[in-house]
Amino acid sequence: MTLRKTTVASTTGPVDGSAAPIDGARRRDRANGSEPADGRRDSLDVFDVSWSVDGALIVDGVSLSAKAGSLTGLLGPNGSGKSSLLRTIAGMTRPDGGMVNLGGEDLLGMRRRERARRVAVVEQETHTDVPLRVLDVVRLGRTPHKATEHDDDLARNALNTVGMHDLAERDWHTLSGGERQRVHLARALVQEPELLLLDEPTNHLDVHFQLSLLAKVRELGVTSLAALHDLNLAASYCDHVVVLDDGRVAAAGAPEDVLVPEVIRRVFNVDCDVHINPRTGRPVLMFTPLP
Ligand SMILES: Nc1ncnc2c1ncn2[C@@H]1O[C@H](COP(=O)(O)OP(=O)(O)OP(=O)(O)O)[C@@H](O)[C@H]1O
């Protein structure tokens, strides 16, 4: 697989658009309910989406909604269908049924180039045999937009945002797993998406970068859906969580309502005590094996 195929919903060439800097304030205005400058709203609505392989239902009638500018955590045990759902929402796999709307528009019915401008995907693993500098990898995020003289600056700014500006000229292949993960986010940022889909974006990161990456995603105010294994990160950073189990939604709502012992035991098969972090007021989960 190539980087281009695996991490950007579609990158089939320039369409249009200026190289305006990433505008977190504008996105946050949308989240706050004030009218966005371009009149569009970026809420995500997934209706009854299913996806199967060889007759096996992997995603089974999933519906969820994410408010414009919010961060939603997609949680669930191994094999529960998180990545499959993200790929389906991104239009990378064709659902058997259901609908995905972004800002009220049919995302899966859009032309591929249009979707590529609006949706960025950060997948778990990416590979390429092509020798590329880090800066070039980030610039791939501009592919769906019209090329401008500012693209290099945008790419360097995005690298700066993820603390990787020093490595802009490095060969991509020499990066560590965590460094690659941060470069992936930088590439998604230069894409200036309306919807950001992240598949375990923190799994290679040390604790500092786990916190800073999710804080950054929140700060951007882009509607984001992130598959996460770390339930405490989800509890700390997500506005809303959706728990999948065997391809279906087992629970959804605010982290403090969903990440409760009964749900954790039923879905993850472990016991759990929930405390409140005195500094943040957010839930902290402590796990023990079932007797
Ligand atoms: N292309 C495919 N062909 C066959 N089975 C698949 C395919 N893609 C996914 N699956 C199966 O679908 C199920 C869900 O996989 P998926 O990767 O979506 O789960 P996940 O929740 O992201 O898991 P994890 O937490 O382990 O990353 C798994 O049992 C997986 O083996």
Confidence of residue 41 (pLDDT cuts 50, 70, 90): low
Of 21-35, 43-57, 153-167, least confident by mean pLDDT is 21-35
**For the chain, what are the domain ranges?**
3-256
Amino acid letter, 52: S
CA–centroid distance, residue 190 to ligand 1 (Å): 29
Which run of H or E residues covers position 182?
helix 177-190
State the chain's mean pLDDT as an integer: 86
CA–centroid distance, residue 2 to ligand 1 (Å): 20
pLDDT reported for residue 38: 45
Ligand 1 neighbourhood includes 76 CB (under 6 angstroms): yes
ipTM rounded to 2 decimals: 0.98
pLDDT tens column, 141-189:
988 888 788 888 999 999 998 989 999 999 999 999 889 989 999 999 9
DSSP letters spanning 188-234: HHHT--SEEEEESTTTT--HHHHHHHHHHHHHHT-EEEEE-S-HHHH
Specify the pairing of strand 270-276 against strand 248-253: unpaired
Specify the pairing of strand 56-66 against strand 223-227: unpaired
Specify the pairing of strand 44-53 against strand 97-102: antiparallel
Residue whose CA is at the smallest distance from ligand 1 atom 31: 79
pLDDT tens column, 110-127:
999 899 899 999 987 767
Rounded Cα gap, residues 76 and 287, in angstroms: 15
Nearest to 11 by CA among 89, 94, 90: 90
Ligand 1 neighbourhood includes 180 CB (under 6 angstroms): no
Ligand 1 neighbourhood includes 53 CB (under 6 angstroms): yes
| pTM across the whole model | 0.86
- Domain 3-256 carries which CATH code? 3.40.50.300
Residue whose CA is at the smallest distance from ligand 1 atom 29: 79
Given a contact cutoff of 8 angstroms between Cβ atoms, the answer to whether 237 and 202 are in contact is no
CA–centroid distance, residue 164 to ligand 1 (Å): 31
